[in-house]
Amino acid sequence: MTYDKRKDVDALIEHFWKRGYMTVSRKYGTYLPEPDKVGIYDVDVIARYNDSFAIGIVLNDEDFIDLNKTQNKIIYLSTRQTKFNGKRVALFIGVSLKNYKIAKSLLNTLPDEVKKNIRLIQIIDHQNPEQSLRRKNNNVLFS
C-alpha cells in the first residue's frame, strides 16, 4: 500500500471547509502557494476564518517514532499567536485511524492551556477497498 500525503492534506482541508475556514496556503496544491515554515517546522495548511487563523498538520507513522520531537512540534505550533491582534492560532492535527489512539494519549499529556487550542482529526480514506473489489468482480449489466 502506497502512502499518499496529498490525499491526507486534501482530507484535512475538507475538515477546514466544514468548519467555515478558507484555505490561504497549502502543500501539494496547484493554485495556492505552499505555506512558509512556522519557526523551524513545516506545516501543511494555513487557513483563515474572518480574523482567526488556523494551522493544519498531518502526522504519519514516522512522526510517532520519536514522540518527544512530535510533542515539541505540537506544543510550539499550538502556542502561536497572530502578529497583529495577538489571537491564538488554532492547530488542526490530522492522523490516520491506526495512529489516533497514540496521538490522543500524546495530547492528554500536554498542559490544559496548550490542549484547548488543538483539534485532533481522524483522516479516513473515503474509498472502501472491499467495495471497490466487489465492483471489479461484478458483471456488467448494461453495455
> The CATH number of the domain where 31 resides is what?
3.40.1350
Q: What tens digit of pLDDT does each residue of 14-69 get?
A: 888 888 898 888 888 778 878 888 888 889 999 998 888 899 999 988 888 888 89
Question: Between 134 and 77, where is the model more confident?
Answer: 77
Grade residue 127 by pLDDT with cuts at 50, 70 and 90. Answer: low
Could you tell me the pTM of the whole model? 0.79
Residue 41 belongs to some domain of the structure: yes
pLDDT value of residue 2: 45
pLDDT exceeds 90 at position 92: yes
pLDDT value of residue 1: 38
pLDDT value of residue 138: 63
* Domain total of the chain: 1
Residue 142 belongs to some domain of the structure: no
Residue 78 belongs to some domain of the structure: yes
Where are any strands of DSSP class E within the chain? 22-26, 45-49, 52-59, 90-96, 118-123
| Cell matching residue 74 | 505540537
pLDDT value of residue 47: 92
Nearest to 56, CA basis, from 105, 84, 14, 97: 14
Residue 56 belongs to some domain of the structure: yes
The residue segments making up the domain with residue 130 are 5-137
Residue 143 belongs to some domain of the structure: no
Grade residue 133 by pLDDT with cuts at 50, 70 and 90. Answer: low
